[in-house]
Amino acid sequence: MASASNRGVIFQGAGKVTVETIDFPKLALGDRKCDHGVILKILTTNICGSDQHMVRGRTTAPKGLVLGHEITGQVIECGRDVEFICEGDVVSVPFNIACGRCRNCKEGKTGICLNVNPARPGAAYGYVDMGGWVGGQAEYVMVPYADFNLLKFPDREQAVEKITDLTLLSDIFPTGYHGCVTAGVGPGSIVYIAGAGPVGLAAAASARLLGAACVIVGDMIPERLRQARSFGCEVVDLRMDVKLSDMVAEITGSPEVDAFVDCVGFEAHGCGHDHGHEQPATVLNSAMDLTRAGGEIGIPGLYVTEDPGAQDNAAKMGSLSLRFGLGWAKSHSFHTGQCPVMRYNRALMQAILFNRVEIAKAVNVQVISLDDAPKGYADFDGGAAKKFVIDPHGLVAA
């Protein structure tokens, strides 16, 4: 057992996070016993665009929340009911918390487990409305239902060597991949990815892994577009006052795409002369405009049921102004929700271990210390073309 001290990243209200001493994890959540859980010493834990929605004050997240849902670590203690995961295992933690026993888990829908959050289906570590599980931007964390949830890496030394890639298996690599799979991306597809943040870049790399013929990434941050171009994507700069379909036609010869992936979510900005203003429905509306009839639309970008920072009353309740008739007329399929990470993480781990994909390079991983987490949040919020990975024990740096 390690020493019983712990430190973590705390949400202190809109625009502020700090690093504080927090409780060492127990095999429990309040009164709920978690003998099926393990304690992890965290090897890496990433900052996500999903955290930014909370830190920007765009959710009802309470002050004092320990943040962090993208966790990779080493098991240092197993609960009494853990059978197959062992002390010393190096593991990736899917950000979805799932019981493995309910109807949805049995159907592989681990993003909407029915037993881990009394308020609604689905849970995650360190996230508003997601069941109250303690976050993992910390030195140590508890992971429940460990036999079901954890993905064990085959070899410890190899895992440490490839950690900047493997750390992306807890969320954004499977999430980007899921966005593409649910958009029907396959060999020869023409794909549009909205957003060149880490999820958009992971989706773009996934589209290439799936055999897409042409991957076009749209954003309004030049540094992020340069990052997309660095691994072979076409890009469109949405600050330009040109219709998206015209910019796409300029690249492919056609104003429509086979597959569209929304990697932006509800904090979307307008395009052209509107690029400084928020328009929460703009990406969904351009999805219906740009996607061919019969095409599919993957929507990993997050939409909320409550947005205290929204500009109008409808959007405050998550109601958006969609031209849904257009999507209906084109027989579009829409796929929403949390990515069920477990559906993809093992295969994507193999793609990393056998050098079939350079995902850390695609999203431009930068490793930082726990004490630098507040600066990481600020730089990420400023639009840095980086995925910040916290190394809380200095093990990666060493």
Ligand X SMILES: NC(=O)c1ccc[n+]([C@@H]2O[C@H](COP(=O)([O-])OP(=O)(O)OC[C@H]3O[C@@H](n4cnc5c(N)ncnc54)[C@H](O)[C@@H]3O)[C@@H](O)[C@H]2O)c1
Please report, as ranges, the residues that interact with Zn ion according to CB under 5 A.
Answer: 48, 50, 70, 98-99, 102, 105, 113, 115, 171
Nearer to ligand X, 89 or 307 (CB): 307
Paired tokens of 267: 């904090």
User: Are the C-beta atoms of residues 137 and 66 closer than 8 Å to each other?
Assistant: yes
Which of ligand X, Zn ion, none is residue 136 near (CB under 5 to 8 Å by kind)?
none
168 contact, one of ligand X, Zn ion, none, CB 5-8 Å limit per kind: none
| Amino acid at site 312 | D
Tokens describing residue 334: 């829409």
C-beta separation of 182 from 212 below 8 A:
no
CA dist 295 and 288 (Å) reads 9
Residue among 74 and 227 whose Cβ is closer to ligand X: 227
Q: With binding defined as CB under 6 A, does residue 219 bind ligand X?
A: yes
Single-letter residue type at 132: G
Q: Which of 178, 236, 187, 184 is nearest to 208 (CA)?
A: 187
- In whole angstroms, what separates CA 321 from the centre of its chain? 25
Minimum gap (Å) between residue 138 Cβ and Zn ion: 15
Min dist CB 50 to ligand X, Å, is: 3
Q: Which of residues 235-254 bind ligand X (CB under 6 A)?
A: 238
By CB under 6 A, residue 345 contacts ligand X: no
280 binds ligand X (CB under 6 A): no
74 within 8 A of 139, measured Cβ to Cβ: no
Distance from C-alpha of 219 to C-alpha of 229, rounded to nearest angstrom: 12
CA–CA separation, 108 and 113 (whole Å): 9
**CB of 163 or CB of 263, closer to Zn ion:** 263
Distance from first CA to last CA of the chain, Å, rounded? 22
**Stretch of 10-18, 83-91, 135-143, 191-199 contacting ligand X, by CB under 6 A:** 191-199
Contact region with ligand X (CB under 6 A), list: 1-9, 21-29, 168-176, 370-378: 168-176
Of residues 374 and 395, the one with the C-beta less far from ligand X? 374
Contact by Cβ (8 Å): 166, 159: yes
For residue 113, the partner it binds in Zn ion, ligand X, none, with Cβ less than 5 to 8 A by kind, is Zn ion
Q: Of these partners, Zn ion, ligand X, none, which one is at the site of residue 99 (CB under 5 to 8 Å by kind)?
A: Zn ion
- Chain residues that interact with ligand X, rule: CB under 6 A: 48-50, 52-53, 171-172, 175, 194-200, 218-221, 224, 238, 263-265, 268-269, 271, 282-283, 300-302, 338-339
